[in-house]
Amino acid sequence: MFAEQIEQQTSQVSTAIIKGIIKRIIFQKDDFHILSFMAEKTKEPITIVGDFFNVAPEDDLTVWGEWESHPKFGHQLKVSKWERPLPSTMEQIEKYLASGHIKGIGPVKAARIVREFGERTLDVIQTGPDVLGNIKGINREQAQHIHQSIVERMEEQHLLLNLLHLGFSASMAKRAYKHFKSKTVDIVKTNPYRLTEVNLFGFHKADQIASHLGLPTDSSERIQAAILHVTEETTKSTGHCWLTRDEILEEALKLLNKNSNVSWESAEKELTYLSTLDSQLVQMGEQIYPGRLFRAESIVANRISSLTSSVHTNRHFPLHRMIELYEKRSKIKLAKNQREAVEAIFQTNLLILTGGPGTGKTQTTRAIIDIFEQVNANAKIVLSAPTGRASRRMSEVTGREAGTIHSLLKINKSGKPTYDTNNPLPCDLLVIDESSMLDISLARRVFESISDDTKILLVGDIDQLPSVGPGNVLNDLINAGVSTVRLKEIFRQGKESQIVINAHRINQGKNIDIAVNKDDFYFIAKEDPEEIAQLILRSVRRLLQKGMTVEEIQILCPMKKGPVGTTNLNRLIQSIVNPKMYGASELMSGNEVFRSGDKVIQTKNNYGKQVFNGDVGIVQNIGSFYDEDEGREVMSLTAIFNGETVRYQENELGQLSLAYAVTVHKSQGSEYEAVIMPVTTQHYVMLARNLLYTAVTRAKKMVILVGTQKALHLAIRNNKISQRNTGLIHKIVTKG
């Protein structure tokens, strides 16, 4: 029998090249397939496993691979490379056209086409759609589609033949082809580092491909790619907008010289060259910017200069009287600084309102909006915030509609906003809450979208952590002299809250003060990280028993790693609030398992899905659906984000992470009924006053800190805010 013949052959040789036909698909998950395969001149099928793309039963394939013995599935061929031989005889071509791979052609039309062109059918169709004009039943539109399909099939064949053995999966090859089209193979073979342009591969994977191809390790392409990689990754991870020349060269050479010997002079030469291309890097003395960040700073500075120079302070209304009337209507008395803020919005086009919890930012914002509307009944006032959670909260406290900045600017799937310099947002007053979250790129979008006649009110707490992305926009604007009102007085409601009181104590460098007669702030002393994790687990259980929901409880961690990092705590919390159920579907991505009902967080902007970094959702369903592009059933996950249902295929799950526990940075702009935070010296490197302050101010009703007094004191005393390298202040000041 054939299986016995194979065993005899593989006792001496483990590799094989086999031609045959797919009999059936035993298992399929994304590109990975287990196929029943009938080799030529045999009677028994064999099992082959590997990554395949767009294959179906009865397809002819040639496969290269190694035999292996699987403990469960027995003898099978692990495929490293495969190709679909081009049909050459009239019978093969007719079968190929009628296989369903080419939409619009069935057995009848396939037979007519082959009768017309014979063995040259595929070559003839590739010359253009007009050749199909005389075939009965095929109109011009169908002819165009058939021609395009055949051309793409032939290019796909060439693509797979040349790329699969380089470590590409079939879907990766397809994505590369979408961007580079017919030049894909040539680009990969001559400069694989260009794959980083489309986020297909990072530098490390491109470097592996280059090594496999035997490309020189000291090539300009490799050195430039390393420099761009270091610059981009470092600015992302540190929040800097620029790095020094020496920093970039040192890190790039560390990366390059793991397996080569690139000199400082060679790297410096390529850095100098890249700095002449403003689209890549911009050099200002010893400062090197990624081009996009330099342009963002310049645009923000220019817009601020234009806004502040076009102020019209001509007032023909009794503002003081209008403030008094507002106080009477609202039955409140505005504090001195709150009145100053109301007056300031009529004297400038850009105002910053900042202050800690309980200082009346929300009340002041409501007053500004109300009085602005009283002054101009037809005024268009727009409210926005960087995240969905923050915008929903803004809507709740103001009683007005509010949306995310991305939705406000109508940023499309490609990342391009509808509103920009050429098409400004129709708006008289734009109010943006949680403005400390604005990174320089998002700030650019905002300031580009408004006209010089629009007033902007930025509301935020400058003592919180800065934005996740590069820049320190709110602080930079204040330090550049933009009109600012800082609220300091804590109002009566705030004085009754231990959360508010302790937030301010932390911000002042004082130890927390816990009143035994209050039930909104707890510190549980525990030394061992494993025990801290178990205490956090018990706290979650207790809060759930008291009637809180999973969405209302949030664990905030300084870091991802360790027993009390987000990764481990997510696993533990999931095991009690959403355990594995017999027969229920689940999907795995990396080390995380997703189940229906899980709380998840988006970890990168996805303009196509209109879901953005930091958005939190709930998994609604896990199952299969028919993907028309793939032409098959694929597994997917659907989740509810901001009231909208969003679908993720398995290869997109890397954009999601479990969100029972998230980092403090990821929590910015959000509020929760209860916040639980581990405070341990295991996270020593991250313990800082503004991190603890940000975590505490996320809570509305309860804070539970679990850890050691030593770690808590370290965090409160550490007011060394890491400085971010930005140039926005200088650009604004020199414009003024």
Q: What is the DSSP string of 112-165?
A: HHHHHHGGGHHHHHHT-GGGGTTSTT--HHHHHHHHHHHHHHHHHHHHHHHHGG
User: pLDDT higher for 171 or 383?
Assistant: 383
Mean pLDDT of 42-71: 87
The answer, yes or no, to whether residue 544 has pLDDT greater than 80, is yes
418 is in an annotated binding site: no
**Does residue 456 contact residue 433 with C-beta atoms inside 8 Å?**
no
Q: What confidence score (pLDDT) does residue 2 get?
A: 33
Task: List, for residues 357-400, the tens digit of each pLDDT value.
Answer: 999 999 999 999 999 999 998 999 999 999 888 898 899 989 99
The answer, yes or no, to whether residue 340 has pLDDT greater than 90, is yes
Q: What confidence score (pLDDT) does residue 549 get?
A: 95
Per-residue pLDDT band for 51 (boundaries 50, 70, 90) equals confident
Task: List, for residues 577-592, the tens digit of each pLDDT value.
Answer: 999 988 788 998 888 9
359 is in an annotated binding site: yes
Where do we find the tokens 């495969």? Answer: 82
The share of the chain scoring above pLDDT 70, in percent, equals 95
Per-residue pLDDT band for 12 (boundaries 50, 70, 90) equals very low
Mean pLDDT of 548-562: 95
**Does residue 615 contact residue 405 with C-beta atoms inside 8 Å?**
no
Q: What confidence score (pLDDT) does residue 10 get?
A: 38
The answer, yes or no, to whether residue 420 has pLDDT greater than 70, is yes
Q: 101-115, 396-410, 535-549: which has the minimum mean pLDDT? A: 101-115
In angstroms, the CA 53 to CA 629 distance is 12
Q: What confidence score (pLDDT) does residue 736 get?
A: 58
Where do we find the tokens 């700073």? Answer: 297
Per-residue pLDDT band for 314 (boundaries 50, 70, 90) equals low
In angstroms, the CA 338 to CA 359 distance is 10
**Does residue 432 contact residue 457 with C-beta atoms inside 8 Å?**
yes
Q: Which residues are CB-neighbours of 129 under 8 A, at least 6 positions away? A: 140, 143, 144, 146, 147, 148
364 is in an annotated binding site: no
Q: What confidence score (pLDDT) does residue 313 get?
A: 59
The answer, yes or no, to whether residue 146 has pLDDT greater than 60, is yes
Q: What confidence score (pLDDT) does residue 282 get?
A: 96
Q: What is the DSSP string of 261-319?
A: ---HHHHHHHHHHHTT-TTTEEEETTEEEEHHHHHHHHHHHHHHHHHHHT------S-H
The top-scoring range by mean pLDDT among 85-99, 168-182, 552-566, 577-591 is: 552-566
362 is in an annotated binding site: yes
Mean pLDDT of 303-327: 84
Q: How many residues does the chain have?
A: 736
In angstroms, the CA 498 to CA 501 distance is 5
Q: What confidence score (pLDDT) does residue 264 get?
A: 97
User: pLDDT higher for 628 or 474?
Assistant: 474
Task: List, for residues 97-118, the tens digit of each pLDDT value.
Answer: 887 777 778 889 999 999 999 9
Per-residue pLDDT band for 7 (boundaries 50, 70, 90) equals very low
The answer, yes or no, to whether residue 630 has pLDDT greater than 70, is no
Q: What confidence score (pLDDT) does residue 409 get?
A: 93
Cα→Cα distances 7→4, 21, 463, Å: 5, 21, 70
Q: 32-46, 60-74, 418-432: which has the minimum mean pLDDT? A: 60-74
At 462, which amino acid appears?
Answer: I
H/E stretch holding 524 reads: strand 521-525
Q: Are strands 592-595 and 599-602 parallel, antiparallel or unpaired?
A: unpaired
In terms of C-beta density within 10 A (0-12 exposed, 13-18 middle, 19 or more buried), how is residue 151 classed?
A: middle
In angstroms, the CA 5 to CA 413 distance is 54
**Does residue 635 contact residue 623 with C-beta atoms inside 8 Å?**
yes
**Does residue 668 contact residue 468 with C-beta atoms inside 8 Å?**
yes
Mean pLDDT of 111-136: 91
Task: List, for residues 251-288, the tens digit of each pLDDT value.
Answer: 999 999 988 899 999 999 999 999 998 789 999 999 99
The top-scoring range by mean pLDDT among 65-79, 101-115, 652-666 is: 652-666
**Beta-carbon neighbour count of residue 403 at 10 Å?**
18
Mean pLDDT, all residues of the chain: 89
Per-residue pLDDT band for 460 (boundaries 50, 70, 90) equals very high
The answer, yes or no, to whether residue 541 has pLDDT greater than 70, is yes
Q: What confidence score (pLDDT) does residue 686 get?
A: 85
In angstroms, the CA 138 to CA 129 distance is 10
In angstroms, the CA 135 to CA 111 distance is 10
The answer, yes or no, to whether residue 629 has pLDDT greater than 60, is no
Mean pLDDT of 412-433: 92
Range 320-356 burial, b when 16+ CB lie within 10 A, else e: eebbeebeeeeeeebbebbbebbbbbbebbbbbbbbb
Task: List, for residues 488-533, the tens digit of each pLDDT value.
Answer: 988 856 578 999 999 999 999 999 999 888 899 999 999 999 999 9
Domains delineated in the chain: 15-83 (2.40.50.140), 90-166 (1.10.150), 187-295 (1.10.10.2220), 297-487 (3.40.50.300), 510-718 (3.40.50.300)
Mean pLDDT of 353-358: 94
**Does residue 612 contact residue 445 with C-beta atoms inside 8 Å?**
no
308 is in an annotated binding site: no
Q: What confidence score (pLDDT) does residue 628 get?
A: 52
H/E stretch holding 506 reads: helix 498-507
